[in-house]
Amino acid sequence: MTRLFQRHTRIAVRRVQRKKSPFIYKSYSKKPKHRLLRKRKAQEQRFRRTGLAAIVLASLFLVSLIWNIVASGYSAFTQVQVRIPVTYEQGLIEKEAYRTIIQKSLTELFPNVENRSEKRALFGLISRNAPYILQKEVQNNPSLVGERHEVWLPVSSQISIFYKQELYRQGERGGSVSPTEAAWITALAQSKRMRLSFNAAFFTNGDSREAERAGILASTAGSLLTIIVCVLMAFPLGVATAIYLEEFAPKNWFTDFVEININNLAAVPSIIFGLLGLAVYLNMFGLPRSSSLVGGMVLALLILPVIVIATRNALQAVPRSIRFAAAALGATPTQVVFHHTLIYALPGIMTGVILSIARAFGETAPLLMIGMVAFVVDVPKIFTDPATTLPVQVYLWSNNPELGFVEKTAAAIMVLLAFMALINLLAIYIRQRFEIKW
Amino acid sequence: MRKTLLSFTAFTALAFPVCAQAGEQIQIVGSSTVYPFVTVAAEEFGNSTGFKTPIIESTGTGGGFKLFCAGIDEASPDMSNASREIKQSERDMCAENGVKDITEIKIGFDGIVLANSKEAERYHLSKTQIFKALAKKVPVNGALADNPYQSWNEIDPSLPNDKIEVYGPPTTSGTRDAFVELVMEPSCKDLPEFVEAFPDKKVRGKTCHLLREDGAYIESGENDNLIVQKLQSNPRALGIFGYSFLEENMDIVQGSIVEGKEPTFGNISDGSYGVSRSLYVYLKDGHIGKTPGLVEFATELVSDEAAGEFGYLAEKGLIPLPAEELATVQGRVNALVESAAE
């Protein structure tokens, strides 16, 4: 029996060596006869099956999550528009009565509507923000005054949901549209006055309480400003700390103490950093509330320990022989670090930094305390402007009662995920391209 | 090392002197219930005037007052939204920090509804029945006991034979505060069993506010959309949320009739639907003239176009004030405008 067992093992080993296949158990071509061997093989297969099941389950969750988001969000990238004949009457434009202009052209399209409440419903077809679109057009192009043009304007959120539902998802809930409104839309659609166009407003507008106008520009700009501040603060501080601790600091109880604390800080819940930011940055230093400056500084605290740990690991991975060789050639310890060790460790450091930026990018909890969970319409331009971030925008939209925000929320999540994927790809690229294997 | 250190010091040096810029834009904090309405007015204000759009944070009523009352300097918020009146303790806190003059602006009402899926039958409930279904302690055979009711028909045979399952807001929510005050307290505080067990009024009030924790009342977070979704997937359950969410989701949920009144726009606005509360915005008088656009924004907020019967806030689900009351509020704001002009 023992010999048989040895033979089997030998065959297995040889096959593995030949094929370099990780699937060792496949090489047991015949069912092993030995009881213990059978038992071990069964164990092996059990483990593999469990592992496979875990992966399948995890991917199922992921796929259903992404499917869910995409299915409810993809329609947000299109906007329903209606074409109406607009007369830019001079008198009305001087009074800035753009709403009246639109109401006039709607009455022109549907002259039979006379009842007051029906008129209200008719005027409600067009987005509440349409007058400001006309106003902007006239400001950009004053020669329009007195002319008559066909203009595409966005419809209101309810109508948009109804129209998209007819197009994309029959049978799903479509909000509350009265039969009269439905008849109007059908009439408009038949006379080719309805269209679905790319929703540029979603990328060029700030937040809005009208779903058809709400966009992610303000929150994306806020996110970028916040991340810039965060990196400017966390990167130099974190790397400097790590270099000192790894290369220069003496090993004593104090550095041990610092090290333990840094490792602990990496595991502290993020809301704590928000409280710290509120107490120190806002109350002590008097920095402006809701600004990306404070947001970035709070997120910098959050990712600082992660950067320190990643940098130390990267520095440790550089072989001692490099340091000795540099020192042997007469380099001072500082020169050894900055001319050699740090350079070789840089790809590793960058990977760590980029991954921690991805973490900072997705944070909302610490921002709540410092007032960045806010309704921000204007796009922030400098670091002290009131700002919000992309994940916060997702959170705020998900709380809105209007149905139109359901697709916006999902679309904002898609953009957020795309940013995350980009950041992670960058990290992978840097690791593949520059990493040095010793 | 020198370079990175240098860049860091340069950055911090750059960052700090610019901090005196706060106060050029209206800052508003407070209730998440008022947030959806004030944001609409703010957007309209930013669109139609040359002023910047106000920044509005949703911090909850209590959290809002904390920030609002923190000081009179320009970094503190100019307005605070509230889904209840300001408490005396909060006024005291304000006064302590130099915020002496506050103007109360009532903008409208919000109804709290108990709703269920349209697939199920509409509930007809009385406040006492709701109390019996949700209170932690109820009178049983003349003594207080942990709530024994498991299904609605145990409370009243006219109610359906369904398990009591109510999704509602957590303790931190203003909606929950208002709900227990408007529904639970009136049906509880005069019950002889409670008076006997808790002679002290304060303790009794607190006990009356307790909701059961055995799974019949399910805390569902501050997100009312989530509750609506749960009602859709579980037609036997009820949910507690604000009227604007009912209005938006009329196609899948229906409001239960409480004390014979349906939660409709008309019933809430004339006060006959009993579970409704007033919504307020508080304005710091000391910031008038310092924050540009502050009185103008207050005027916009209470204008007929916004808070009136057919205003855009009503379109968003706010129940407007009766005409006379709105006129009083408008008068108060006009007084502010005049005082600012002087």
The predicted-structure confidence for B235-257, as pLDDT tens digits, reads as follows 889 999 888 888 888 888 999 99
Same domain, A192 and A235: no
On chain A, the residues whose CB falls within 8 A of the CB of B244 are 401
Question: Which chain A residues have a beta carbon less than 8 Å from that of B58?
Answer: 373-375, 396, 399
Residue B13 binned pLDDT confidence (cut-offs 50, 70, 90): very low
pLDDT, position B177: 81
Q: What is the pLDDT of residue A26?
A: 52
Phi, psi of A163 (to 5 degrees): -65, -45
Q: Residue ranges of chain A with pLDDT lower than 70? A: 1-32, 168-176
* Chain B contact set for A388 (CB, 8 A): none
Q: Which domain holds residue A15?
A: 1-30
Nearest to A28 by CA among A45, A12, A16, A7: A12
Q: CB contact, 8 Å: A384 with chain B?
A: yes
C-alpha B267/C-alpha B274 separation (Å) is: 9
CB contact under 8 A, B40 and A240: no
Domain's final residue, options A145, A173, A199: A199
Which pLDDT band holds residue B19 (cuts at 50, 70, 90)?
A: very low
Q: What are phi and psi of A153, to 5 degrees?
A: -125, 150
Element (H, E) at A194: strand A194-198
Q: Beta strands B102-117 and B238-242: pairing type? A: antiparallel
d(CA A352, nearest CA chain B) in Å: 18
| Contacting A residues, span 104-123, partner chain B, CB-CB under 8 Å | 120
Residue A6 sits in the same domain as residue A79: no
Interface A–B counts its CB contacts (< 8 A) at: 114
What 3-state DSSP class applies to B291? Answer: strand
- Residue B28 is classified by DSSP as E
Report pLDDT for A13.
59
Same domain (yes/no): A171, A24: no
Q: What is the pLDDT of residue B79?
A: 94
Residues within 8 A of A (CB atoms), B 62-101 only: 75
Residues A262 and A402 occupy one common structural domain: yes
Residues of B in contact with A375 (CB under 8 A): 35, 39, 42, 55-58
Task: Note whether residue A44 is domain-resident.
Answer: no
pLDDT of A141 reads: 86
Closest approach of B73 to chain A, Cα-based (Å):
11
Note whether B222 contacts A399, CB cutoff 8 Å: yes
Q: Which residue has the tokens 């092993």?
A: A32
Q: Give SS3 for B22.
A: coil
Q: Count the neighbouring beta carbons within 10 Å of the beta carbon of residue A189.
A: 14
The answer to whether the CB atoms of B43 and A377 lie below 8 A apart is yes
- Assess if residue A323 is contained within a domain: yes
Instruction: Give B336 to chain A, closest Cα distance, Å.
Output: 26
Note whether A226 and A151 are same-domain residues.
no
* Dist. CA B123–CA B238, nearest whole Å: 9
Q: Which two tokens stand for residue A67?
A: 């499917």
| CB of A271 less than 8 A from some CB of B | no
pLDDT given for residue A103 in this prediction:
87
Q: What percent of chain B has pLDDT over 70?
A: 93
For residue B281, the surrounding DSSP H or E stretch is strand B276-284
Q: Report yes or no: A99 at the B interface, CB cutoff 8 Å.
A: no
Same domain (yes/no): A269, A152? no
Q: Do the beta carbons of residue B214 and residue B166 sit within 8 Å? A: no
- Facing B11 at nearest CB: one of A129, A132, A233: A233
A65 domain-assigned: no
Do the domain assignments include residue A49?
no
Contact across the interface for B58 and A399, Cβ inside 8 Å:
yes
Burial of B183 (0-12, 13-18, 19+ CB in 10 A): buried
Q: What sign does the CA torsion over A144, A149, A155, A160 have?
A: negative
Whether A208 is in a domain gets the answer no
- With the C-alpha atoms ordered A106, A112, A118, A120, is the resulting torsion angle positive or negative? positive
What separation in angstroms does the CA of A162 have from each of A113, A264, A403, B317? 21, 52, 11, 20
pLDDT in tens, B55-70: 999 888 888 998 899 8
Same domain, A161 and A249: no
Mean pLDDT, residues B109-136: 90
Of residues A293, A374, A383, nearest to B56 (C-beta): A374
Q: Give me the phi and psi of A291, to 5 degrees please.
A: -95, 155
Of chain A, the end-to-end C-alpha distance in Å amounts to: 45
Closest CA to B274 of B259, B264, B285, B294: B259
Contact A428, A347 (CB under 8 A): no
Query: Bridge-partner residues for B217, per DSSP?
Result: B166
In a domain, A313, yes or no: yes
User: B 282-321 residues with CB below 8 A of A?
Assistant: 310, 312, 316-317
Within 193-232 of A, beta carbons closer than 8 Å to B belong to 208-210, 229, 232
Q: Are residues A350 and A430 in contact, defined by beta-carbon separation less than 8 angstroms?
A: yes
pLDDT at B1 over 50: no
Interface test with A, best of B21, B47, B233, B291 (most A CBs within 10 A): B47
Q: Which residue has the tokens 């998209």?
A: A164
CA distance, residue B223 to nearest chain A CA (Å): 6
Three-state SS at B339: helix
Whether residue A289 lies inside any domain: the answer is yes
Write the residue in A239, A382, A401 that is nearest to B224 by C-beta.
A401
| Nearest-angstrom CA–CA distance, A122 and A106 | 7
Inter-chain contact B53–A383, Cβ cutoff 8 Å?
no
Q: Taking a C-beta distance cutoff of 8 angstroms, is the pair B167, B237 a contact?
A: yes
Q: Which of A172, A199, A226 is the endpoint of a domain?
A: A199
> ∠ CA(B318), CA(B237), CA(B177), 5° rounding?
45
Joined tokens for residue A212: 């058809």
Q: What is the pLDDT of residue A61?
A: 97
B15: pLDDT strictly greater than 50: no
- At B263-303, the pLDDT tens digits run 988 888 888 888 888 899 999 988 888 888 999 999 999 99
Instruction: Set out the domains of chain B in order of their start, with CATH numbers.
Output: 26-110+278-341 (3.40.190.10), 111-276 (3.40.190.10)
Cβ contacts of B89 within 8 Å, gap of 6 or more: none
- In this structure, the answer to whether residues A163 and A221 fall within a common structural domain is no
**Which tokens go with A57?**
């389950």
Length of chain B: 342
Check whether residue A272 and residue A406 sit in a common domain. yes
Which segments of chain B does DSSP mark as H helices, in order? Answer: 2-15, 35-48, 61-68, 88-96, 127-134, 152-155, 174-179, 185-188, 192-197, 201-208, 224-233, 243-248, 265-269, 294-302, 304-307, 312-315, 323-341
H-assigned helices in A244-277: 253-265, 270-277
* pLDDT value for A64: 96
- Which A residues 154-173 touch B at CB under 8 Å? 173
Query: Which of B8, B245, B312 is opposite residue A401, by nearest beta carbon?
Result: B245
Model confidence band, residue B75 (pLDDT cutoffs 50, 70, 90) = confident
CA distance B56 to chain A (A): 5
∠ CA A387-B225-B184, rounded to 5°: 110
The reply to whether A380 and A411 lie within a common domain is yes
Q: What is the pTM of this model?
A: 0.81
For residue B103, the model assigns a pLDDT of 92
Q: What is the ipTM of this complex?
A: 0.77
**Residue A54 in domain:** no
| Same structural domain, A423 and A280 | yes
Note whether B19 contacts A: Cβ–Cβ < 8 A.
Answer: yes
Q: What is the CATH number of the domain that holds A235?
A: 1.10.3720.10
Specify the number of domains making up chain A: 3
| A222 Cβ neighbours under 8 A, 6+ residues apart | A292, A295, A372, A376, A380, A387, A388, A389, A390
* The residue to which tokens 């307790």 are assigned: B210
Are residues A137 and A382 in contact, defined by beta-carbon separation less than 8 angstroms?
no
- DSSP, collapsed to helix, strand or coil, labels residue B47 as helix
Residues A161 and A292 both lie in one domain? no
Whether A174 and B251 lie within 8 Å, measured CB to CB: yes
